[in-house]
């Protein structure tokens, strides 16, 4: 069987074994479609079922999460942890608390995590987890009780040498604190390295909060530098207004960009003066309000509940919200308005059709598994600090993060050129570079 036929057979089996999991199918197709040049050059990775094993998680956990709300009613949610691949190290990946979470979403995220983690150069495997619980509108007591119930089941599968979760959508420092407290209570062990994203005061790393957003901007800066330009004076649009979006905006503005728009689930905000980050953080992180509250506080800004943030003309777009948020029509609008670079701060926010539009138009495009690797990279740095009982300064942690992102960019560009001929094909570069590192480890460790 030739390489193309083998890849198609593997993808057909992914669809057959995982019916109805559209996001996982999409993530698998995006990686598999890039691998023919690598398998042609390394036929040893076409054997031993490496592709088949890559697409099948090592372990999939689904469990009931009962908890009691503030009215005394018993609620029941469903928890997940997909431990996808440990060839490079303990499973590493976030926990997402959101009503959309199901097994297919967690598998797509965990599959992406394998390659993202490999690109960091760190000894971490890929995994992901979460629950269909929505922390929005819940009291601190309700969130605490949910987290304690969630960890009461999950703790038996975790450990700094086994599986190390972090945060994701709906899971910030508050949730990590409750989860860690319950883990410590059950195990009677203070294992700082079992969860990352902790507050700095008790084992967390400086820059972890900012890392995914900062990292996406560092990656975009490296892409722009290959064309002799940067953020200075550029109009920037960021989708979302959560942790990743806020800190992507912060770093873009620090590099001279003018971030003029962001969004949330209710609509999008335009501030031609450049986003007031103190006001944005107050609205989203303190008041936990909608973006319309920003416009109420600053009349010069404009909030719209219609259309999308991608209708706003910009030079650089940073999609930082959620999967498949940027479709073909959005990509066409961005290209029409002169966008020169797109870097994914979220996981797979651009549809395949949108990516095709960007590539055909010559837009620099940084895929999430490379551009948003800063979060897990800093989680890996947090694990290093925990293992050494050490704590680094903000400046040290940010310098290490920037170095990792420069290396991720270099790997993607060099690999793309070596295996596809086009150094700007960052999708091929990221997929092949990540695959080769994981495949070598899997081959070395036998059929497991």
Report the binding-site residues for substrate: 92, 113, 116, 167, 379
Give the integer Cα–Cα distance in Å for 177 and 296.
33
Q: How many CA atoms lie within 13 A of 186 on its CB side?
A: 18
Separation between Cα atoms, residue 255 and residue 238, nearest integer Å: 15
Q: Are strands 235-239 and 316-319 parallel, antiparallel or unpaired?
A: parallel
Is 320 within 8 Å of 240 (Cβ atoms)? yes
Alpha helical stretches, state H, 96-165: 103-119, 140-154
Query: How many residues appear in the chain?
Result: 448
How far apart are the C-alpha atoms of 286 and 268, rounded to whole Å?
Answer: 19
Among residues 351, 307, 348, 345, which one has the least CA distance to residue 331? 351
Record the tokens describing residue 74, joined without a space: 């018993």
Instruction: For Cα atoms 13, 14, 15, give the angle at the middle one, nearest 5 degrees.
Output: 90
3-state DSSP assignment of residue 150: helix
251 is catalytic: no
Binding-site annotation: residue ranges for NAD(+): 212, 243
Kindly name the residue from 107, 128, 251, 284 that is annotated as catalytic: 128
Please report, in range form, the residues annotated as the binding site: 92, 113, 116, 167, 212, 243, 379
| Residues 108, 24 contacting (CB under 8 angstroms) | yes
CB atoms within 10 A of CB 76: 9
Distance (Å) of CA 96 to CA 37, 78, 103, 140: 34, 12, 12, 17
Element containing residue 390 per DSSP (H, E) = none
Cβ–Cβ < 8 Å for 403, 19 = no
Q: How many CB atoms lie within 10 A of CB 201?
A: 7
Under DSSP, the state recorded for 276 is: -
Catalytic residues: 128
């Amino acid at each position: 069987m030739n390489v193309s036929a083998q890849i198609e057979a593997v993808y057909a089996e992914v669809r057959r074994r995982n019916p109805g999991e559209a996001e996982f199918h999409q993530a698998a197709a995006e990686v598999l479609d890039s691998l023919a040049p690598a398998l042609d050059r390394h036929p040893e990775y076409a054997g031993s079922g490496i592709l088949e094993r890559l697409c099948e998680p090592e372990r999939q956990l689904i469990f009931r999460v009962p908890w009691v709300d503030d009215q005394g009613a018993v609620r029941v949610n469903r928890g997940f942890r997909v431990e996808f691949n440990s060839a490079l190290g303990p499973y590493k990946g976030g926990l997402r608390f959101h009503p959309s979470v199901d097994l297919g979403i967690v598998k797509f995220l965990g599959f992406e995590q394998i390659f993202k983690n490999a690109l960091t150069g760190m000894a971490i495997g890929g995994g992901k987890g979460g629950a269909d619980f929505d922390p929005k509108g819940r009291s601190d007591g309700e969130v605490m009780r949910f987290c304690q119930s969630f960890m009461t089941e999950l703790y038996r599968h975790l450990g700094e040498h086994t599986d190390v979760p972090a945060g994701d959508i709906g899971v910030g420092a508050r949730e990590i604190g409750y989860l860690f407290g319950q883990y410590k209570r059950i195990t009677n062990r203070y294992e700082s390295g079992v969860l990352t994203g902790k507050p700095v005061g008790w084992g967390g790393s400086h820059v972890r909060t900012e890392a995914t957003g900062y990292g996406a901007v560092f990656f975009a800066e490296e892409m722009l530098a290959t064309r002799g330009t940067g953020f200075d004076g550029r109009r920037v649009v960021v989708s979302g207004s959560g942790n990743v979006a806020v800190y992507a905006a912060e770093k873009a503005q620090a590099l001279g960009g003018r971030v003029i728009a962001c969004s949330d689930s209710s609509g999008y905000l335009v501030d031609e003066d450049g986003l007031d980050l103190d006001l944005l953080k107050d609205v989203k992180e303190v008041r936990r309000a909608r973006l319309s509250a920003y416009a109420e506080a600053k009349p010069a800004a404009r909030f719209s509940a219609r259309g999308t943030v991608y209708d706003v003309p910009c030079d650089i777009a940073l999609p930082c919200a959620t999967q498949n948020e940027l479709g073909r029509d959005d990509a066409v609008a961005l290209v029409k308005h002169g966008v020169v670079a797109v870097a994914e701060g979220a996981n797979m926010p651009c549809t395949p059709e949108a990516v095709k539009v960007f590539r055909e138009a010559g837009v620099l495009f940084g895929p999430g598994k490379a551009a948003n690797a800063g979060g897990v990279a800093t989680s890996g740095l947090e694990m290093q600090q925990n293992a050494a009982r050490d704590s680094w300064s903000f400046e040290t942690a940010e310098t290490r993060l920037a170095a990792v992102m420069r290396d991720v960019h270099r790997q993607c560009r060099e690999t793309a050129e070596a295996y596809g001929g086009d150094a700007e094909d960052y999708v091929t570069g990221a997929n092949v570079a990540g695959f080769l590192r994981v495949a070598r480890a899997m081959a070395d460790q036998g059929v497991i």
